[in-house]
Amino acid sequence: MNQNSLRSTELSTDLLFSLIESKLHLLTEMQAMSLAQTDLVSQNDMTSLMTLLSRKQDLMGALGKVQSELAGFQDQEPEQRSWSSPARRKSCQEMVTRCDQLLQELIVLEDRSLGSMNLQRESVVARIQQNVDACAIQNAYHSSDLEESSFDSSLLIEG
């Protein structure tokens, strides 16, 4: 391998390292947001939740860009990459492992939040149905009272 080729692969591993570092940072931020999201869902704080989800969407966009840049490295054989040191390569591998762990944790957190939101939605639907039923009962009594009062007044007129 000539000097330019060696330097090129070191630059690509530097770029790879930087991208993995960025991905780890973004996933760590998303994890913190997902934990906050869980709290906001349990507190039923929809205003703050919408703000948080908007910020989280921005992070997902940034993560998508990093993933796109990382895609170019998927065609490379990891063993063929030239690292500046074995320690740097090991550090990058550890970050990749941590990214994978964070992704799995994020999936679990998102599933929990979604489950909590669904339970809250079902609870709201049940309360709305109770209110509709109560209104129907109230209207039935009110209608019955009107019929009785008109019936009573007609008896008084005839009598």
pLDDT tens digit string along 58-93? 999 999 999 999 998 988 888 888 999 999 999 999
Kindly list the domain boundaries of the chain, sorted by start residue. 3-119
**Mean pLDDT, to the nearest integer, of 46-63?**
95
The whole-angstrom separation of Cα 18 and Cα 16 is: 5
Tens of pLDDT, residue by residue over 119-156, are 777 777 777 887 777 777 777 776 666 555 555 555 55
Nearest-angstrom CA–CA distance, 39 and 43: 6
Enclosing H/E stretch for 47? helix 46-71
Is the CB of residue 74 less than 8 Å from the CB of residue 16? no
CA gap 58, 105 in Å, rounded: 19
**Residue 96 to residue 98: CA distance in whole angstroms:** 5
Six-digit token pair at 100? Answer: 């994978």
pTM (predicted TM-score) = 0.71
- H-helix or E-strand spanning residue 35: helix 3-43
